[in-house]
Amino acid sequence: MDKAQILVADDDPRILKLMSDTLSQAGYEPIVAADGREALRLVEANNPALVILDIKMPEMDGFEVCRCIRATSNMPIIMLTMVNMDEDVLRGLKSGADDYVTKPFNIDVLLARIQAVLRRTKFPDEVPCPPLRCGQLVIDFDQHKVSVTGKEIKLTATEYKILSLLARYAGRVFTQDQLLEKIWGWEYRGESHILQVTISRLREKIESNPRDPKYILTRVGIGYTFPKSTE
């Protein structure tokens, strides 16, 4: 079986060496870039299974690289942020990142995050289900495709899994921890900011008015739900 390629972009050669060695030992094929432009070039040339981006890089910072990747691809992205820099975490997630790891990082934590993100990109075999039509929204569960007013919407694997789960159980309210555990994994319970930012991104893509959503509804103090029907 081919090894999964993981691109690491960081301007610190010591970090690149450490992460390259760690990924190799863990069974991945590392690709390294020392700046943002090189990272984009390697993404286009190799189409890696996952990208790890440091925020502060020459040429292009991690936020800009993340946005550029998201313009054409839904490949999973992990951002490297500094400890106690919550603004960077939120900005990275809003730029389209799937997850983050803080520096200085623990190798085991990094590998666990990588495994969790790669796991979310895989779709287990599901019982065949007819497409769901709710207002202008159509979810084709078999093809993992979503469209609004006939136009296909590009969702990340995480965004699709949230929408699919809520839609399959329309009318049921899921708490934030339930969604975090089902989509991200039990180790993410309590990390509500990841869920909230991802829900916000999802609404921006499928709702005509994200501030007054029709599909991903908030139940204040509880969690989120998908309506049984909508006009």
pLDDT digits over 183-228, tens only? Answer: 998 888 888 999 999 999 999 999 999 999 999 999 998 999 999 8
| Helix 62-72 × helix 86-94 angle, to 10° | 20
13-33 pLDDT, tens digit each: 999 999 999 999 999 999 999
So what's the pLDDT on residue 127? 63
- Between CA 31 and CA 7 the distance in angstroms is 5
- Between CA 149 and CA 50 the distance in angstroms is 31
pLDDT score of 68 more than 90: yes
Q: How confident is the model at residue 125 (pLDDT cuts 50, 70, 90)?
A: low
Q: What is the mean pLDDT of residues 110-127?
A: 81
- Between CA 33 and CA 155 the distance in angstroms is 26
So what's the pLDDT on residue 150? 92
168-190 pLDDT, tens digit each: 999 999 999 999 999 998 888 88
- Between CA 5 and CA 92 the distance in angstroms is 22
* Other CB atoms within 10 A of residue 24 CB: 13
pLDDT score of 41 more than 90: yes
So what's the pLDDT on residue 136? 92
- Between CA 139 and CA 154 the distance in angstroms is 12
Domains and CATH numbers, the chain: 5-120 (3.40.50.2300), 132-225 (1.10.10.10)
- Between CA 224 and CA 173 the distance in angstroms is 6
Higher per-residue pLDDT: 165 or 121? 165
So what's the pLDDT on residue 123? 65
